[in-house]
A and B are shown apart, each in its own frame.
Chain A
Amino acid sequence: MAGLELVSDAGFRADGRRPDELRKVRARLGVLARADGSAYLEQGNTKVLAAVYGPHEVRGSRSKAPPDRALLCCRCSSAPFAGGGERRRRPPQGGGDRRSGERALLLRGVLEGAVLGQLYPRSQIDVHVQVLQADGGELGASVSAAGLALQDAGVALRGPVVAGSAGLAEPPAGPPVALSDLSAAEEAAGGPRLVVATVAGSGQLALCQLSARLHQERLRPVLDAAQAACRGLHAVLDGVVRASDPLGDTRTLPWPQ
């Protein structure tokens, strides 16, 4: 079992965090001047950049656009220098591969639940997310960054979108411990990984993705840990969005240290 490396006897994880502690979060809105909305998010060593264009006219095939709501086009890609957590034989292919396509589909599902699409009929909103450095939790960081970029673009949302991940460590001596916000080394250890996304801080989940196997009795603590990760991230990102108010007291935004 991988419990030995994940949580030490003293209760610390490999990178020195407690099981319920999140990695350091830094975020900034409006980093791209040409995009309608953009956001940069760092969670630990995972760095993600999101850009939103729209709502604009539907380009390409008009028949794909639903008549009463906006068409959301999401595209996820990984920079060639992003690394990738585990060793890859091929470098990231920049958005055309299956992993990015799956991530884009999941992102679209989350955002369709969050965006008030009825206000923009017959229009298209493009969301582009690029992972600049991958160190675990790229799907969650992509979802959170896309939510920030949509807020920066002024697209009407039901609420802020945040995502978090959680896993399980089973040390040989002691009860299983749920870990919040997995890093790449913890994901590579092979245990279960649950990614959830919530909208508006309500208890409802917009995304729930589990990889590897998880026993039914262990689901509750892992789900609670993931939702707690979402709440913690939401608290930080809420402060970032409010601090980016152009009429607020902080006229010059210092880069968070």
Chain B
Amino acid sequence: MAPPARYCVPGERLCSTEEATAGSGTYTRHGFIFSSLAGCLERKNEDNELPVVSVVRDSESQLLPNVGAVVTCKVCSINSRFAKVHILYVGSTPLKSTFRGTIRREDIRATEKDKVEVYKSFRPSDIVLAKVISLGDAQSNYLLSTAENELGVVVARSEAGVQMVPISWCEMQCPRTHTKEFRKVARVQPQFLQT
């Protein structure tokens, strides 16, 4: 059985910054590393650098979307200028409470930004992969962007209510009625394709 891990409380001094670098759940002050969470101490040894000291709790506290993170969101309403979304997952971690985000018209595509029509890129209740570009200011929510090949719509339902199949980067087809609908489709990563 593994030796019991050391349990530390916030404010407990762990070690000095010369012996290790601060990881998550810790902060540094006056050349020492202190714990900022009540959890188990973890020490990871890196080959050429100092070991990383972090404090881990078994139940992760709420993760916040930060700039540059790829998030999974659901479109709740669209407009001619932007699409409003609810952010559901950050990376692969589900969020306990949804955050609101906005995808502006000029952030939907990387090329031909002025010819984009939001109605032909997203529809309400689509599941979209997007990247956070800004935390937003006093007036706006999180700003997201789908201006990359791997970002865009992953799951969408057609007007008949059936899940559609992507056929190109800008079209999806309903398997039942065979009608094509316009979406900004995300390119599926090779590792997720079933062969």
A contacts, CB < 8 Å to B = 36, 54-57, 62-63, 65, 67, 116, 120-123, 151-160, 199-201, 238, 241-242, 244-249
CB<8 Å pairs between A and B, sample of 6: A55-B62, A56-B96, A57-B98, A123-B62, A154-B61, A199-B11
Interface range on chain B: under 10, 10 to 19, 20 to 34, or 35 or more? 20 to 34
Establish whether residues B11 and A246, one from each chain, have CB atoms under 8 Å apart when the complex forms.
no
Q: Does B135 contact A (CB under 8 A)?
A: yes
Establish whether residues A63 and B9, one from each chain, have CB atoms under 8 Å apart when the complex forms.
no
Establish whether residues B37 and A247, one from each chain, have CB atoms under 8 Å apart when the complex forms.
no
Provide the residues of chain B in CB contact with A199, threshold 8 Å. Answer: 11
Q: Does B180 contact A (CB under 8 A)?
A: no
Q: A56-B97, A57-B97 are in contact. Are A159 and B64 (CB under 8 A)?
A: no
Q: A151-B9, A158-B36 are in contact. Are A120 and B4 (CB under 8 A)?
A: no
Provide the residues of chain A in CB contact with B62, threshold 8 Å. Answer: 36, 54-56, 123
Interface of A is mostly: loop
Establish whether residues A122 and B96, one from each chain, have CB atoms under 8 Å apart when the complex forms.
no
> In this complex, what residue of B is CB-closest to A243?
B7
Select the residue from B10, B11, B57 with max chain A CB neighbours within 10 A: B10
Q: Give the CA-CA distance A56 to B34 in the complex, in Å.
A: 25
Q: Give the CA-CA distance A153 to B60 in the complex, in Å.
A: 9
Q: Does B147 contact A (CB under 8 A)?
A: no
Contact with A along B135-150 (1 / 0, CB 8 A): 1111101100000000
Q: Does B40 contact A (CB under 8 A)?
A: yes
Contact with A along B21-64 (1 / 0, CB 8 A): 00001010000001011111000000000000000011111101
Q: Does B100 contact A (CB under 8 A)?
A: yes
From B5, B9, B34, B36, give the contact of A247 (CB < 8 A). B5
Establish whether residues B38 and A36, one from each chain, have CB atoms under 8 Å apart when the complex forms.
no
Establish whether residues B9 and A116, one from each chain, have CB atoms under 8 Å apart when the complex forms.
no
Q: Give the CA-CA distance A241 to B136 in the complex, in Å.
A: 36
Provide the residues of chain A in CB contact with B58, threshold 8 Å. Answer: 246-247
Contact with A along B90-107 (1 / 0, CB 8 A): 000000111110000000
Establish whether residues A242 and B9, one from each chain, have CB atoms under 8 Å apart when the complex forms.
yes
Establish whether residues B11 and A158, one from each chain, have CB atoms under 8 Å apart when the complex forms.
yes
Select the residue from B25, B27, B38, B97 with max chain A CB neighbours within 10 A: B38
Establish whether residues B61 and A153, one from each chain, have CB atoms under 8 Å apart when the complex forms.
yes
Establish whether residues B11 and A200, one from each chain, have CB atoms under 8 Å apart when the complex forms.
yes
| CB proximity to A under 8 Å, residues B56-87 | 57-62, 64
Q: In angstroms, how far is the closest chain A Cβ from the Cβ of B180?
A: 36
Provide the residues of chain A in CB contact with B99, threshold 8 Å. Answer: 56-57
Q: Give the CA-CA distance A120 to B37 in the complex, in Å.
A: 14
Establish whether residues A122 and B34, one from each chain, have CB atoms under 8 Å apart when the complex forms.
no
Provide the residues of chain A in CB contact with B139, threshold 8 Å. Answer: 62-63
Establish whether residues B7 and A157, one from each chain, have CB atoms under 8 Å apart when the complex forms.
no
Establish whether residues A242 and B37, one from each chain, have CB atoms under 8 Å apart when the complex forms.
no
> In this complex, what residue of A is CB-closest to B61?
A154
Establish whether residues B7 and A67, one from each chain, have CB atoms under 8 Å apart when the complex forms.
no
